[in-house]
Structure 1
Amino acid sequence: MPVTDSIFLLGESREHPMHVGSLELFTPPEDAGPDYVKTMLDTMLSHTTVDSTFRKKPQGPVGSVGNLWWADEGDNVDLEYHVRHSALPAPCRVRELLTLTSRLHGTLLDRHRPLWEMYVIEGLSDGRFAIYTKLHHSLMDGVSGFRLLQRTLTTDPTVRDAPPPWNLPRGEKKPDSGGGLDLGSVFGGLRRTVGEVAGLAPASLRIARTALGQHDMKFPYEAPRTMLNVPIGGARRFAAQSWSLERVNAVRKSAGVSVNDVVLAMCAGALRHYLTEQDGLPDAPLIAMVPVSLRDEKKVDAGGNSVGVTLCNLATDIEDPADRLSAISASMSQGKELFSSLTPMQALAWSAVNMSPIALTPIPGVVRLTPPPFNVIISNVPGPPKTMYFNGSRLDGLYPTSVVLDGQALNITLTNNGGNLDFGVVGCRRSVPSLQRILIHLETALAELEKALL
């Protein structure tokens, strides 16, 4: 088991579940009968061949070291345990669906079984249904998880035999040499690793030059303390909403920045309004930890974790929304410039520096007595660019459900879905009161950007 995977198992506790997932909202096809969802679920369960990723469970642990290898469940995967049929009391609103998702997202996965669960949920008053899926972060990160999900979807609404995620057709493999040890590959890998390690020293010099030469570069512990940076409990709140990509693109074109810059500015404006409302806005700007995928196109469908992080100045001390957007764009540009000069291993090493303070949070008193390394996690995960369907049902919403950490009580993750950007906001139920108001403030922040720039 790679260290990048095992760390998510080692860091998990009842207060800190380490699974990620999504809530997908579907409109059934026009010819769907009253038993459409039940029939669809039965068809999904008929796919009894389970991919290796969905058979893996952690072996061990070994003392305080954690889990060092995976065990394979083989043919014993109990699909009726992992895939569950749920129904809300009809007639029901999306609000009740989000309440149910909040509860489901706060419960731990069973480590004696493969680390995933799926809930097919019906009962919405408008006839729609939802699928909530969660997978342990040790199995895969958000990028590989969303790419896996997209492989179950199609742009063709007439397709009715789409496979479930645990039974997707696999890509072509190179012929097996017979199961023996390939010494050429081993030594080739060792040479590459030695070269990467040797490159860490010049990479460190590049990082230092960038940091010293650019005032927008942010480092851990430069963030102010806020009400979001406290010890957390295990219960979660989840809120979700979609925004038109056309609106965001209009702001992007006018300001000459990226879509992600506009998204970060929306989040910055929302957090500024939310913390002001809670009488908790600090004078210094909030700092966001922004995950960056380190996968190339050849490895984008692979499991496991390959994610770097950069820190971004959210400029919440700036009142003018256009000026705030400019400051955010400048800060992100520094991170992009740095990552473009590093190899994947060097980028992981630099990301480990940014994330290293999180490893200290289990020590009693650290979260309360030390400055936060950053204030909030904001992640933008690539999603499907076109309208998608699953067994004839149109995908209306694709809302990410992510992780919150001790000292980091709020996570905002979004993805593109056709012509929309779908936001999923996860927070500690105890530490982030009225979390759903962040959605209202996201709309306010976008409207302010439109007024300032269009």
Structure 2
Amino acid sequence: MAANRPMAAIDAAMMTGDVLTNPMHVAALMIFTPPPGSDRHYVDDLYRDGLINLGGVDPRLSKRPRIGLDTLGRWVWEDVEVDLHSHVQRRVLPAGSGEPELWQLVADLHSLPLDRHRPLWMAYLIDGLDDGRYALYIKLHHTLVDGVEGMQMIADGLSPDPEARDVKPFYSAGEHAPEPARPEHGLPDPASALSAVAGAAASSIDLARNIIGGGIDYLGAAVEGISPVPMSAPFTRFNDSLGFKRAAAGGSWPLQRFRELADAARAGSGDPVTINDVLMTVVSGALRGWLLAHDELPDSSLIGICPISVRAGEGGAPDGSAGSDSGNMFGLQQCPLGTDLADPAERLTLIHRSMAWAKDQVARRGSAASMLLTAPSLAPTLLLSMLPLTVKWRTGYNLPISNVRGPREHMYYNGAHLDALYPVSTVFDGFGLNATICSYADTVSFGYVAGRSLVPDVDTLIPLTETALAELAAAIGW
């Protein structure tokens, strides 16, 4: 009989949300050019080879969630055998299809929930693009990986060497895959139990101290205008119930454009503006343009909720709340997006100050404290979308915005060049639009996902992103 392992609290909460509200999976879309000399059977061979000679499946992808009377009502992980034919599937686009048709298929696949009776992941090898390229769409439940770990899993299934022909797919046990977890048997010895209780007490005291200190910091930041007060975001269509269907779109730009914009902003203002600040400002400009085009721009600023990594070497977690070797290791912070400001340069200044403060808070207070401090706005955002007869004037946050670093080099899968890497994140009631950014080699990609009933024209955000980028460049004199 397979052994059960309790889920971390944050993962159990996401699994419960998956059951009660909307699917909580994240995804990525990769587009490849086959190696020179490939014939028309190349993708068929690729699919066949991906199902054999793996050398083992990644332990994170070899477990399924379970809850029942025998688990005392707790979510647990259960290790199982993986049927790769169920998890790795083929799709062929109609003749003459291009990227618009590919994105429509991705949106349809993203609408489907993962089967909780099996490990929570799927991969679709997609053929039929009119330029001879093929795509791989990967979908994983958010309880398995956060954005940083998920991107590392993808990178482990690629190689910087165009001549390498022994690369295993992402779902095999790669370089950074954790060791299979060992279930605990029996009761701990008294010394271990006493040590665990003492550690939990100390952790609770640290958490309480960080929550109190963080609350005081929030008040000060609200006075400065760099962190919003709870329930101060304007209610938009993004914050309604989103339905079952999804819409998705993506676009890529040269990373150098954003790097040079950040350099120009630093030189002009003297502030340590980051590339991430520029990326956030461009998303803000695209949202402002979309809302203006639909005559729905609120008088007050939209507020984004931003995951901030607390992995070792990326800020750390002083409260010890993210100490596992895998899974989700991030804090949450809020950021006013300045969509009420017509001047893109003013928007950049606001976002830079807000994000600098947010990163400092997560680094000093830890992920658990930061997430608890966002709860007063997060919970009402989710609940308001489910109450059809409630007056909806304000909400906690408007949309999640995140930025994930992808591979820094050009990558290949057994000779096929990875041309583009797009993030395809999660949406749920109250957060019907998601913007995720991903860097890869010398490019940066924007992925927008939405409830299809809320934002059916999500693809228009791609040209609006280019417009926002050009407007920001003009505003700072670059």
Q: TM-score of the superposition, structure 1-length normalised? A: 0.92
Matched, 1:250 2:260: yes
What is the deviation of 1:379? 0.7
SS in 2 for 1:407: coil
Superposition map of 1:231-242 within 5 A: 231-242=241-252
Residue 204 to residue 136, structure 1, CA distance change in 2 (3 Å): closer
Are 1:381 and 1:414, in contact at CA under 8 Å, matched by a contact in 2?
yes
What is the deviation of 1:364? 3.5
Superposition map of 1:215-226 within 5 A: 215=224, 216-226=226-236
Matched, 1:118 2:123: yes
SS in 1 for 2:436: strand
SS in 1 for 2:135: strand
Alignment match, 2:279: 263
Are 2:382 and 2:429, in contact at CA under 8 Å, matched by a contact in 1?
no
Residue 178 to residue 276, structure 1, CA distance change in 2 (3 Å): closer
Q: How many angstroms apart in 2 are the aligned matches of 1:335 and 1:315? A: 16
Give 2:34's match in structure 1, choosing from 17, 28, 31: 28
Alignment match, 1:433: 456
Alignment match, 2:269: none
Alignment match, 1:315: 338
Are 1:144 and 1:301, in contact at CA under 8 Å, matched by a contact in 2?
no
Give 2:141's match in structure 1, choosing from 122, 136, 145: 136
Q: More displaced, 220-229 or 354-363?
A: 354-363
Are 1:157 and 1:391, in contact at CA under 8 Å, matched by a contact in 2?
yes
Give 2:296's match in structure 1, choosing from 261, 280, 285: 280
Matched, 1:54 2:61: yes
SS in 1 for 2:239: coil
Alignment match, 2:48: 42
Q: How many angstroms apart in 2 are the aligned matches of 1:78 and 1:367? A: 46
Alignment match, 2:465: 442
SS in 1 for 2:35: coil
- Residue ranges of structure 2 left out of the alignment (5+ in a row): 1-6, 267-272, 317-321
Question: Aligned AA for 1:286?
Answer: L
Q: How many angstroms apart in 1 are the aligned matches of 2:243 and 2:324? A: 33
Alignment match, 2:439: 416
Are 1:294 and 1:307, in contact at CA under 8 Å, matched by a contact in 2?
yes
Question: Aligned AA for 2:303?
Answer: I
Give 2:13's match in structure 1, choosing from 7, 11, 21: 7
Alignment match, 1:194: 201
- Residues 34-84 of structure 1, C-alpha deviations (whole Å, 9 max, x = no match): 211111211110026323211211112469x9651112213xx21111100
Are 2:424 and 2:447, in contact at CA under 8 Å, matched by a contact in 1?
yes
Question: Aligned AA for 1:5?
Answer: D
Q: How many angstroms apart in 1 are the aligned matches of 2:282 and 2:296? A: 18
Question: Aligned AA for 2:56?
Answer: T
Are 1:15 and 1:232, in contact at CA under 8 Å, matched by a contact in 2?
no
Question: Aligned AA for 1:206?
Answer: G
- Residues 407-453 of structure 1, C-alpha deviations (whole Å, 9 max, x = no match): 21100011101111111110010011311111111100000111122
Q: How many angstroms apart in 2 are the aligned matches of 1:302 and 1:188? A: 21
Question: Aligned AA for 1:99?
Answer: Q
Are 1:230 and 1:406, in contact at CA under 8 Å, matched by a contact in 2?
yes
Alignment match, 2:22: 16
- Residue ranges of structure 1 left out of the alignment (5+ in a row): none
Give 1:85's match in structure 2, choosing from 75, 87, 90: 90
Are 2:284 and 2:339, in contact at CA under 8 Å, matched by a contact in 1?
yes
Q: TM-score of the superposition, structure 2-length normalised? A: 0.87
Question: Aligned AA for 1:199?
Answer: D
Question: Aligned AA for 1:58?
Answer: P
Q: CA RMSD in A?
A: 2.8
Are 2:247 and 2:456, in contact at CA under 8 Å, matched by a contact in 1?
no
Residue 179 to residue 11, structure 1, CA distance change in 2 (3 Å): closer
Question: Aligned AA for 2:358?
Answer: G
Alignment match, 2:347: 324
Matched, 1:157 2:162: yes
Q: How many angstroms apart in 2 are the aligned matches of 1:103 and 1:315? A: 32
Residue 177 to residue 323, structure 1, CA distance change in 2 (3 Å): closer
Matched positions, count: 452
